[in-house]
Amino acid sequence: MKLWGGRFARGRRDPLFERFSESFSLDQRFILYDLRVNQIYLKHLASAGALRQTDARQLIRGLENIRRWVERHPDWSRGQAAEDVHTWVENRLEREIGAPARKLRTGRSRNDLVVTETRLFVKDAIDKLERDAAGLMETLLTLARKHLGVVLPGYTHLQPAQPILFSHYLLAYFEMLARDVGRLEDCRDRADELPMGAGALAGTAFPLDRAALARDLGFARVARNSLDVTSDRDFVGELLFVCCLTLVHLSRLAEDLILYSSPALGYVELADEYSTGSSLMPQKKNADSLELIRGKAARVLGRLSGALTLLKGLPLAYNRDLQEDKAALFDGVDTTRDCLQVATQVLATLRIFPEKMEAATHLGFLTATDLADELVRRSLPFAEAHEQVGRLVRHCLSKKIGFSEVSEAEARRFIPSWDHDLARVASSPALAVEKRKALGGTAPFQVKRQIVLGENRLKELRKRLAERKL
Element holding 221 (H helix, E strand):
strand 221-222
Tell the smallest beta-carbon distance from residue 198 to ligand ARG (Å): 13
Confirm if 278 and 321 have CB atoms less than 8 A apart. no
- Which among 107, 1, 96 has a CA at the least distance from the CA of 58? 96
Binding mask 312-341 for ligand ARG (x = CB under 6 A): ------x-x-xx------------------
Binding mask 21-40 for ligand ARG (x = CB under 6 A): --x---x-------------
Q: How distant is the alpha carbon of residue 169 from its chain centre? A: 20
Q: Is 231 in the site for ligand ARG (CB under 6 A)?
A: no
Catalytic, out of 262, 278, 404, 407: 278
Q: Is 114 in the site for ligand ARG (CB under 6 A)?
A: yes
Backbone angles phi, psi at 51, to 5 degrees: -150, 140
Concatenate the DSSP letters of all residues of 257-319 into one string: HHHHHSTTT-SEE--GGG-B--SS-TT--B-HHHHHHHHHHHHHHHHHHHHHHHHTTPPSS--
Tell the smallest beta-carbon distance from residue 319 to ligand ARG (Å): 9
Measure the CA–CA gap between 166 and 150, rounded to whole angstroms: 6
Q: How many residues does the chain have?
A: 470
Total residues contacting ligand ARG (rule CB under 6 A)?
Answer: 10
Catalytic, out of 157, 279, 398, 420: 157
Which CB sits closer to ligand ARG, 27 or 90? 27
Among 34, 84, 138, 331, binds ligand ARG (CB under 6 A): 84
**Four-CA torsion 178, 179, 183, 186, nearest 10 degrees:** 80
Residue 101 has a CB neighbour count (10 Å cut-off) of 20
Judged by CB under 6 A, the stretch of 41-49, 110-118, 174-182, 208-216 that binds ligand ARG is: 110-118
Tell the smallest beta-carbon distance from residue 128 to ligand ARG (Å): 22
Active site residue 157: yes
- Listed in sequence order, the DSSP H helices in 147-266 are 166-191, 210-217, 226-231, 234-261
Among 38, 58, 91, 111, binds ligand ARG (CB under 6 A): 111
Judged by CB under 6 A, the stretch of 47-55, 106-114, 181-189, 376-384 that binds ligand ARG is: 106-114
For residue 453, give Cα distances in angstroms to 132, 138, 155, 173, 448. 20, 12, 26, 15, 9
Tell the smallest beta-carbon distance from residue 110 to ligand ARG (Å): 4
Active site residue 278: yes
Q: Is 110 in the site for ligand ARG (CB under 6 A)?
A: yes
Which CB sits closer to ligand ARG, 274 or 318? 318
- Which among 418, 365, 415, 362 has a CA at the least distance from the CA of 389? 415
Tell the smallest beta-carbon distance from residue 199 to ligand ARG (Å): 11
Q: Is 106 in the site for ligand ARG (CB under 6 A)?
A: no
Measure the CA–CA gap between 120 and 440, rounded to whole angstroms: 39
Q: Is 289 in the site for ligand ARG (CB under 6 A)?
A: no
Confirm if 299 and 239 have CB atoms less than 8 A apart. no
Catalytically annotated residues: 157, 278
Site of interaction with ligand ARG (CB under 6 A): 23, 27, 84, 110-111, 114, 318, 320, 322-323
